[in-house]
Structure 1
Amino acid sequence: MSDELSAAQDEKIMFTASFSAQQQKELARRLTAFLSQYSHLSDAYIIEFFTEDLWHTLPSSWQPVLEDLSYPQIADLLLDAAHEDRRYPSVWPLSLLAFRATAHALAFPRELRHEQGPGAPGSVKPEEFLKNHSQSSLLQHIFRKHVKPKKQHEIRKLGILVKQLCDQTDCNRVVDVGSGQGHLTRFLSFGLGLSVTAIEADHALVAMASKFDGQLMWALEKENQKKNCAVQVSQFCPRHVAGWVNPKASWEAFVTQLRAADCISEGPPTPSGPCKKRLRGHQVDTDVVQMSPSDDNLQELSSLKSDKHECKEELTAEICCSCSKPVCQDCVQPEENTSQGFPDFILTGLHACGDLSATLLRHFVSCPHVRGITSVACCYMKITTNENPTPPGLVAPPTEPTPGGKSLPSEYGYPMSFWVRGLPGHQLSYKAREGACHAVEDYIRRLREESELLRTHCYRGMLETFIRDASPDLRRAGIQTIKKAHLLPFSEYARLGLARVRLPPEMPLDPERVQAMLKQQGRVVVFFSLTLLLAPVVESLVLLDRMIYLQENGVDSQLVPLFNPNFSPRNFVLVAMKPG
């Protein structure tokens, strides 16, 4: 533990320069104007390349210069902002040059400019993985177990940043939302000595996190015995709460969830699995108490009431809103008093999906106990908007409906700020937000390597034409990923794809038509690259809107490209700390 803490103290995260409020607003205005001008690109579905004749939606002056580009030229001349050798094979129209230059200029830089040397921006792997591609040389081995290299890189970098924020705010408590299997939580608690509460909606992941906690504690205890160290490892054990952070709930309800981790005490987990929960001295079998206030729960509560336990108050027939365990009467407070005596904390979320990142920012602004926040977002397509209040993949309605039938604008995931909401053309479609989740750096590598993977978009676009021929009402049907599709002849790919949408797999395909479309693969790749050029711009607008939202609420923030973008595409962390 001391090694990790020492490393965290030595490695300081270099923050980017923050924007003034006026600069943020001006950039938002330019972003919305640019994106609304080219929304026909960001809103285009590449699988409709043939059915919607997308190639001819491009300006006629662009088409001849773009279709002659080789794949490496597409990477160098279009997508890679850092590439300096601009040897154009032909004269490009000024409108195309302006489009490319503006897209690169408006997007937030995705790399830390101070990083140098091997493993710095441009390389696939960070420097910490040069000796061993699967194990970070900067992370102690006990924190690498069960953790993939990408996650090792992320938890170490974010953990150090959270520790810095804790030091700056003189706050030792952290709440990790969307904690999953608890990899970041363990590094923060056992590695950096912070007091951590972890919240995760998936109960199976919570059980796994507790099991991994036990394995790590067992390993640490063995190391301490070898070193004759008297450190009590159990004091660093994180608290886990199984519960969904409801985007439409108040911050007081959120604090109630956090209280649940304190009112139900927990012994140290074992290497084989979670420990038994204790309710003020009374042991509760977590396998017996169900996840909702059912008859079985009430019967269990009744049996608990009949036993002698240390709590002075009688147990109520109420189930904790977060972990669904029975709670004591003295732990149930009126909502207005829930926060009394609650300790201050730092809020963090590593790749909090969809509206969850926006929810955490709202709790940060509203809750007096949240001193700072580090927010790493993902899954922008699951963000709610006025035009798309229930996007695909949304588990539950995020907001309370108003009498008019629509949700309150302030509760949408985008836009969050009043300023962006008032800008003409600020709307971002589901497709534009989905595109913002793509890995630009990975596609650049494919282009430079002229990878066979590049043919998959062409295949899917071709398949779409035959699907619609057979069933015109069947549009953009989900066929999921076909394993190693790029290695298959199109006839085999089509056979597998047609079966997934319940069409005859042996449906005849016109061979001349197939060959004519295959010859347009280069055009498909160019068109997709144009849409991908807009992906970082869309992401920048979503994140800038959140910065402006914080600014409107009196909090300055900074956006840090914390992770290596070649390794972790969603690499931005929004960092904010309340003044005073």
Structure 2
Amino acid sequence: MKNMFSQMEAVKTAINSSLKLIRLYDWLLDLYVLDFFVDDHWSKLPASWRESLRNIDTEYLGMILSGEHPNHILPLSLLALVSAVKALSLPRDNLKKYKIESLSCMDKDSCAGHPRLKNLFLKHVKLKKRHEISLMAEVVNHTALASKCEAVIDFGSGVGHLVRVLAYKNGLYAAGIECQNQLTEDARKLDHELEYTASKHLSKGAMSKLRRPTHFNVTLSTTNQLDHLSLPESMKSYGLIGLHPCGDLGPLLLRHFLNSDKVKFISVVGCCFMKLTNAGYPMSDYLRSLEFNLSYASTEISCHAIEVYCDRLKKGTYEDLKVHAYRAALERLLVDHDPKLKHVQVRSIKHSNNLNFRKYCELALERLGIPLPTSPHIWAKGEEDLAQWQRVVTVYSLRLALAPLVETVILLDRVLCVLEHGLSCEIRPVFDPKISPRNHIIVARR
């Protein structure tokens, strides 16, 4: 209990420090990139920042975001901000891997051990999902063994890739919950396809021991629904897993874990924080008492892929980033034409080197029926805006520098909520952030 109290105090301290920094720079977090020209975002930066960043090489921007030290003089306030964010944010490097050797892996008459079946679980799975599923399955299997729990339920299971690994490979009783009926039907078909392939290489005895996953078609909106699932006797107690449940679904799963003795552990990876409502954030009593809400703009940018963005800047492959300037220039054009068109939904257009501003506007507006201006002055102004594309990228990069801090507050709020209920909880950066940007898994046990 003493260690848990110390952990709670450490989490509270981390949250307080993070919120203090966010409060200082909420003006920066709340700058929407499409309003760059309409609201003159460049002028909102401190004068020393503007002077230093006016002609900065985009490669240096990538180095700054990565915490490196470019050969460029920067204001102390900016250096302090970058260092503070790095110090306060949850680590994102997946330095620790989970290597669990089970007896079944040594058994060649099994889905996990037969040499001809080593790619059995990779079929129909994209590379990003392969990475996530393999590591998530290791963490879940490890936690299930430690919890002496043989059953797991996966929410948002899609076509069942993860539950197939947990059931057929790890030997757990597994169930998938999916709201889309077609995905549930596809999951069942893939189960039969896997068993057909396995039957060509395994004995009848081994096939009879396979644990086929169960698939439910349910739209989850309250935790009460989970208590009424028609689970088999082998799943009367279970672990709860969620691989990137969207918005409030992650907090909903955590609350079910906290409120139900049936749930022995939970492993959940959050996603789409911009879709969180008051039901999903804050979760902890402590953060609710602070009465500090994160803005939509801050939660939205917290879900961006900062490592991939940094690599683009550092490698000079940033041409596609110019599209932010195109969209911001179009926003000024629309607002000047009619203020009611502010933030109107336009078609998303990818950047190409031969794409001029007028062509971009034609493509972006073609479904809205908004007439294009005829004045040469307006198009000239648009071209002047586009010439400042590096400033647009710079301000966006500064906002992105703060993104890990916002994500840290959201995730630590969830950890603290579990600790407040007297249960053990930890958070681990398991996935490679360049492959899966939302790479932290929250693991809690009874």
State the TM-score, normalizing by the size of structure 1: 0.70
Which residue of structure 2 aligns with residue 434 of structure 1? 300
Q: Is the 8 A contact 1:437 1:570 kept in 2?
A: yes
Which residue of structure 1 aligns with residue 392 of structure 2? 524
CA shift for structure 1 position 449: 2.4
Q: Is the 8 A contact 1:352 1:377 kept in 2?
A: yes
Distance 1:201 1:47, change over 3 A: same
Which residue of structure 2 aligns with residue 362 of structure 1? 255
Distance 1:356 1:31, change over 3 A: same
Which residue of structure 2 aligns with residue 69 of structure 1? 56
Q: Is the 8 A contact 1:467 1:498 kept in 2?
A: no
Paired residue secondary structure (1:576): strand
Q: Is the 8 A contact 2:120 2:194 kept in 1?
A: yes
Which residue of structure 1 aligns with residue 138 of structure 2? 160
CA shift for structure 1 position 186: 0.7
CA shift for structure 1 position 496: 1.0
Which residue of structure 2 aligns with residue 502 of structure 1? 369
| Structure 1 position 49 matched with structure 2 position 49 | no
Q: Is the 8 A contact 1:195 1:238 kept in 2?
A: yes
Please give the alpha-carbon distance, in whole angstroms, between the structure 2 residues aligned to 1:567 and 1:47: 27
Q: Is the 8 A contact 1:220 1:233 kept in 2?
A: no
Dislocated runs of 4+, deviation >3 Å: 483-487, 505-509
Cα deviation, 1:233-289, whole Å, max 9, x if unaligned, reads: 574111100001113x43xx31212x2x549xxxxxxxxxxxxxxxxxxxxxxxxxx
Q: Is the 8 A contact 2:174 2:214 kept in 1?
A: yes
> 5+ residue gaps in structure 2?
98-114
CA shift for structure 1 position 142: 1.4
Which residue of structure 2 aligns with residue 482 of structure 1? 349
Identity across matched positions, percent = 35
Pairing of 1:320-399 with structure 2 (within 5 A) = 343-385=236-278
Cα deviation, 1:504-528, whole Å, max 9, x if unaligned, reads: 1465563431232122111101100
Q: Which of 404, 422, 436 is equivalent to 1:536?
A: 404
The letter of the residue matching 2:248 is D
| Structure 1 position 256 matched with structure 2 position 228 | yes
The letter of the residue matching 1:104 is K
| Structure 1 position 231 matched with structure 2 position 231 | no
Distance 1:364 1:242, change over 3 A: same
Paired residue secondary structure (2:176): strand
Pairing of 1:207-286 with structure 2 (within 5 A) = 207-224=185-202, 228=203, 230-232=205-207, 235-247=210-222, 249-250=223-224, 253-257=225-229, 259=230, 261-262=231-232
> 5+ residue gaps in structure 1?
1-16, 116-136, 264-340, 386-411
Cα deviation, 1:427-446, whole Å, max 9, x if unaligned, reads: 11111111111000111111
Please give the alpha-carbon distance, in whole angstroms, between the structure 1 residues aligned to 2:290 and 2:144: 36
Count how many residue pairs are aligned between Structure 1 and Structure 2.
423
Please give the alpha-carbon distance, in whole angstroms, between the structure 2 residues aligned to 1:350 and 1:448: 31
Paired residue secondary structure (1:349): strand
Please give the alpha-carbon distance, in whole angstroms, between the structure 1 residues aligned to 2:389 and 2:351: 18
| Structure 1 position 189 matched with structure 2 position 167 | yes
CA shift for structure 1 position 542: 0.2
Please give the alpha-carbon distance, in whole angstroms, between the structure 2 residues aligned to 1:66 and 1:19: 42
The letter of the residue matching 1:517 is D
Which residue of structure 1 aligns with residue 66 of structure 2? 80
Q: Which of 54, 74, 89 is equivalent to 2:72?
A: 89
Cα deviation, 1:343-368, whole Å, max 9, x if unaligned, reads: 21100000011100000000000001
Please give the alpha-carbon distance, in whole angstroms, between the structure 1 residues aligned to 2:95 and 2:5: 15
CA shift for structure 1 position 471: 1.8
Paired residue secondary structure (2:201): helix
Distance 1:365 1:518, change over 3 A: same
Q: Is the 8 A contact 2:272 2:303 kept in 1?
A: yes
Cα deviation, 1:320-375, whole Å, max 9, x if unaligned, reads: xxxxxxxxxxxxxxxxxxxxx96211000000111000000000000011000100
CA shift for structure 1 position 230: 2.3
CA shift for structure 1 position 37: 1.4
Please give the alpha-carbon distance, in whole angstroms, between the structure 2 residues aligned to 1:474 and 1:212: 47
CA shift for structure 1 position 232: 2.4
Please give the alpha-carbon distance, in whole angstroms, between the structure 1 residues aligned to 2:124 and 2:421: 40
The letter of the residue matching 2:49 is W
Higher helix share: 2
Between 237-246 and 501-510, the greater mean CA deviation after superposition? 501-510
Which residue of structure 2 aligns with residue 296 of structure 1? none
CA shift for structure 1 position 188: 0.7
Please give the alpha-carbon distance, in whole angstroms, between the structure 2 residues aligned to 1:454 and 1:548: 37
Q: Which of 416, 435, 445 is equivalent to 1:567?
A: 435
CA shift for structure 1 position 483: 4.0
Please give the alpha-carbon distance, in whole angstroms, between the structure 2 residues aligned to 1:19 and 1:46: 41
Cα deviation, 1:373-409, whole Å, max 9, x if unaligned, reads: 1001101011102xxxxxxxxxxxxxxxxxxxxxxxx
The letter of the residue matching 1:174 is V
The letter of the residue matching 2:263 is V
| Structure 1 position 546 matched with structure 2 position 377 | no
Q: Is the 8 A contact 2:358 2:379 kept in 1?
A: no
Distance 1:432 1:23, change over 3 A: same
The letter of the residue matching 1:112 is N
Distance 1:566 1:239, change over 3 A: same
Q: Which of 27, 40, 51 is equivalent to 2:14?
A: 27
The letter of the residue matching 2:392 is V
Which residue of structure 2 aligns with residue 147 of structure 1? 125
CA shift for structure 1 position 198: 0.8
| Structure 1 position 113 matched with structure 2 position 6 | no
Paired residue secondary structure (1:560): strand
State the TM-score, normalizing by the size of structure 2: 0.90
Which residue of structure 1 aligns with residue 322 of structure 2? 455
Distance 1:489 1:376, change over 3 A: same
CA shift for structure 1 position 68: 2.0
Distance 1:383 1:486, change over 3 A: farther
Cα deviation, 1:504-556, whole Å, max 9, x if unaligned, reads: 14655634312321221111011000110111111100000001100111112
Distance 1:427 1:517, change over 3 A: same
Please give the alpha-carbon distance, in whole angstroms, between the structure 2 residues aligned to 1:18 and 1:97: 34
Q: Is the 8 A contact 2:322 2:351 kept in 1?
A: no
